[in-house]
Amino acid sequence: MALNRREFTQKSAVAGFALTGAVGVLATAPEALASDERSHGGPGRDGDHGHGGHGHGHDRLGYGPLVADPEGLLALPEGFSYRVITRTGVTRLETGEPTPSNHDGTATFAGPRGITYLVNNHELKGPRAKWEHPVPLTEGLVYDPAAAGGCTVVEVHRDGTVAEWVGIAGTSTNCAGGRTSWGTWLTCEENSDLAGKNGMTKDHGYVFEVDPRDRRANLDPKPLKFFGRYDHEAVVVDPKRGHAYLTEDASGPNGLLFRWVPPQGFEHGRGRYRTLADDAGVLQAAKCIDSAGRFVDDLSRATRIGTVYGVDWVDVPDRDARTVPVRKQFADGRVTRARKLEGMWWADGGAYVVSSYAREESPGAAHDGQVWFYDPKRRTLTLKVLLGVNAAPEQDGAFDGPDNITVSPYGGLVIAEDGEGVSHLFGATDSGRTYPIARNDLNDSEFTGVVFSPDGNTLYANIQTPGIMLAITGPWRRQARR
């Protein structure tokens, strides 16, 4: 059912949203946004790479300035420390092969006796011969033996010991994905090569499910074709309604935000997706309208934090897209696009959605990152974070290019930066104010896979190249809602 102007206005008024560019700040440089809130610190743990200090008061946003790492890997605020969990070519799987490279999207799962499971994507595109450390072709877990990508499962014990094994292999360009409420990981292929292209022997561009707790459930990988075939980025599942939301990282034209509606009577759970037909449910693309009922062609049109759009959903004509890519199946005026639709996270009753940047390929204003919140109850999309164009990305300070994202148990968001120049992990408050959490001191690789442990004590994140998984601990505390 289409959302008309009157319905949108009523829903937005009830929600307390401003309809045309609410009051907000342009969140770019933390120095420009610093409040009077200051964090307090504490010593690092023995055996970790820590930044000791005398602590801080409570009068500054975030956790204070970053301290350069004497090991040349990860700069953190005083009182925080890190530990390397896996490292490509250094750590090894249980079967003896080295940890695969190009770490990307990650999720955590609580296991027995204090164990934390992490499913870690490896964004490896093209044939296996191209990569020194592809995901090993573990028997029974291979989709396409020609493809280099996949997922590993990392098991972190309470005493610090680590084990790693293959969750799925033979997939391509496993970028982001999403955690389900029933404890599995949906890994997304950001590549839509058909069989016979780039050496592939099977079609790609699909979503696959990986169970970190049950290795048998991962045997004979099955593409979940009902989610569509395109350059997937991330996915989240509404635990109440069962809808899945998916992002597409593409240009020429820009990508789309999708919704999958399950068949009537379908019940989610472990192994249930495997029972569905390739054309099960309905795949739809988002169409946004502003408060005046005008069609919004691209999310780059929004220039103020607090902007709210109403959302309709338009059925995808051909979800397997063997002849025409899904995003090219819609005439102008039918769907809303955005450049580099990236990470997603389900929390607060809705989906947080990232658009990494906009430049000349987008019809609206240039920016270096947006974070939106989709409310399925009100069918609204609200701009929560807006990063202005970073004029000097090679200098430390400003942030650009948000990618993977998580909602922090301490309030607000934690965002992995995939922009130009210096790479950070940074936080954003509910009002869109930003602050640094970590800086890559090793190289200019992006951060990926940012996610908290189930108990909220550890922040995991990856440096994508060469492939390093890090565990960050410290004096986390709740951030002000302002």
Kindly tell me if the per-residue pLDDT of 182 is higher than 50. yes
Q: Among 55, 54, 53, 51, which Cα is nearest to 74's?
A: 51
Following CA atoms 370, 235, 349, 426 in sequence, which dihedral angle do they give, to the nearest 10 degrees? -40
Q: How far is CA 220 from CA 138, 209, 354, in A?
A: 11, 11, 32
pLDDT of residue 479: 87
pLDDT of residue 60: 72
Kindly tell me if the per-residue pLDDT of 17 is higher than 50. no
What is the spatial distance between Cα 421 and Cα 394, in angstroms, rounded to a whole number?
4
What pLDDT, in 10s, does the model give residues 222-267? 999 999 999 999 999 999 999 999 999 999 999 999 999 999 999 9
For residue 340, is it left (φ>0), alpha (ψ between -120 and 50) or beta?
Answer: left
Query: Which pTM was predicted?
Result: 0.90
240: Cβ–Cβ under 8 A, 6 or more apart, which residues? Answer: none
Torsion angles phi and psi, residue 350, rounded to 5? -160, -170
Among the ranges given (21-35, 63-77, 324-338, 390-404), the one the predictor scored with the smallest mean pLDDT: 21-35
Q: Among 338, 335, 331, which Cα is nearest to 354's?
A: 338
Q: What is the mean pLDDT of residues 340-356?
A: 97
Q: What is the mean pLDDT of residues 302-319?
A: 97
What is the spatial distance between Cα 427 and Cα 384, in angstroms, rounded to a whole number?
13
Identify which has the larger pLDDT, 17 or 101.
101
Kindly tell me if the per-residue pLDDT of 331 is higher than 80. yes
Label residue 298 by pLDDT band (50, 70, 90). Answer: very high
Tokens of 456: 């909220």
Residue type, 71: E
What is the spatial distance between Cα 164 and Cα 151, in angstroms, rounded to a whole number?
10
Q: Among 327, 314, 321, 255, which Cα is nearest to 286's?
A: 314
Q: What is the mean pLDDT of residues 194-201?
A: 96
What is the spatial distance between Cα 299 and Cα 364, in angstroms, rounded to a whole number?
8
Query: What single-letter DSSP state applies at residue 332?
Result: T
What is the spatial distance between Cα 284 and Cα 64, in angstroms, rounded to a whole number?
43
What is the spatial distance between Cα 475 and Cα 457, in angstroms, rounded to a whole number?
9
Please, which residues bridge with residue 235 across strands?
246
DSSP code string of 176-187: EEEE-TTS-EEE
Q: Among 442, 382, 451, 391, which Cα is nearest to 416's?
A: 451
Q: What is the mean pLDDT of residues 407-430?
A: 95
Query: What single-letter DSSP state applies at residue 7?
Result: H
Q: Where are the domains of the chain?
A: 5-102+190-206+226-473, 103-189+207-223
Label residue 480 by pLDDT band (50, 70, 90). Answer: confident
pLDDT of residue 172: 98
Q: How far is CA 133 from CA 11, 88, 397, 466, 468, in A?
A: 51, 7, 34, 10, 13
CB 335 within 8 A of CB 286: yes
With 0-12 / 13-18 / 19 or more C-beta atoms within 10 angstroms meaning exposed / middle / buried, residue 303 is: middle
State the CB neighbour count (10 A cutoff) for residue 13. 11
What is the spatial distance between Cα 179 and Cα 187, in angstroms, rounded to a whole number?
9
What pLDDT, in 10s, does the model give residues 362-388? 999 999 999 999 999 999 999 999 999
Largest CA distance in the chain: 62
pLDDT of residue 482: 65
